[in-house]
Amino acid sequence: MNANNPIVLIGGSGLGPWVWERITPLLREHGFQSVTPQLRTTGGDATPAEAVDLDAWVEDVCEVLSGLSEVTLVAHSFAGYVAAAVLERQPHGIRRVIFIDAILPKPNKSWFEVMGPGVATFMTGLAQDGAIPWFTREQLDQLYPGHGISDADFAWMRPRLTGQPIATYRQAAIKDPMRAEAARVAYVQCLVTNPPVEDLSTEQLGWERRTLATGHWPMVTHPAETARVIMELAGS
């Protein structure tokens, strides 16, 4: 791969293009071009959450990819659903997909269907204006012990975080099981995420695997290590 081929970075729930600000300068220093798509409702986008579903996010990414080639698509957390859908619907131009501690979809099942009716009911009850709010500091510490997000990190994140449009949880991302024929696929597991986001012991055995000794948001807490893994996989 030519280092000038683009790396497209998509953050997980509540995260906009801003979350990669500690990564993109490191990629640029090593000659890699980075692209951070603006998904509707994320970052500074003012689209109402009620108007946004998973298809909208897939469209946003596909529009960006339509002008690119030989792309490495990087997906963090819930963005695994987005990237998997993009790969199924518009694989042309994608040479590599890197899932970072990402949730991987099941065929013809939404996230709510995979998680079960209890989770769906609970999270629907939390929704405000069509979106699930991001964690408070107390919730973050309780749900993700060892996350590594410092007080300074959280202060940087807090004003930029947005709620997750609830409709994104209600749509299936893919119709067929994920395969690696369309693009080379790698999964980067964050070892301090407990319980693990995905159990890849029996599935995706043909995928490349890497690990990071970090919590679930390595682009915030360990940008140098995260950039190094991305560049290694993107350049291979």
Residue 1 lies in a domain: no
Enter the pTM of the model. Answer: 0.94
Cβ distance 46 to 30 under 8 Å? no
Quickly state the pLDDT bin for 4 (edges 50, 70, 90).
low
The DSSP call for residue 147 is: -
Q: Using a pLDDT cut of 70, give the percent of the chain over it.
A: 95
Residue 121 lies in a domain: yes
Residue 160 lies in a domain: yes
Look at the chain and report how many structural domains it folds into. Answer: 1
Residue 192 lies in a domain: yes
Burial of 85 (0-12, 13-18, 19+ CB in 10 A): buried
In angstroms, the first-to-last Cα distance of the chain is: 7
pLDDT, tens digit, for every residue of 39-57?
Answer: 999 998 999 999 999 999 9
Residue 178 lies in a domain: yes
Q: Which of 73, 91, 79 is nearest to 186 (CA)?
A: 73
Range of the domain at 53: 6-234
Residue 57 lies in a domain: yes
Residue 214 lies in a domain: yes
pLDDT at res. 183: 75
- Check which CATH number belongs to the domain holding 55 and give it: 3.40.50.1820
pLDDT, tens digit, for every residue of 189-199?
Answer: 999 998 888 87
Residue 161 lies in a domain: yes
Token couple for 184: 């080379």
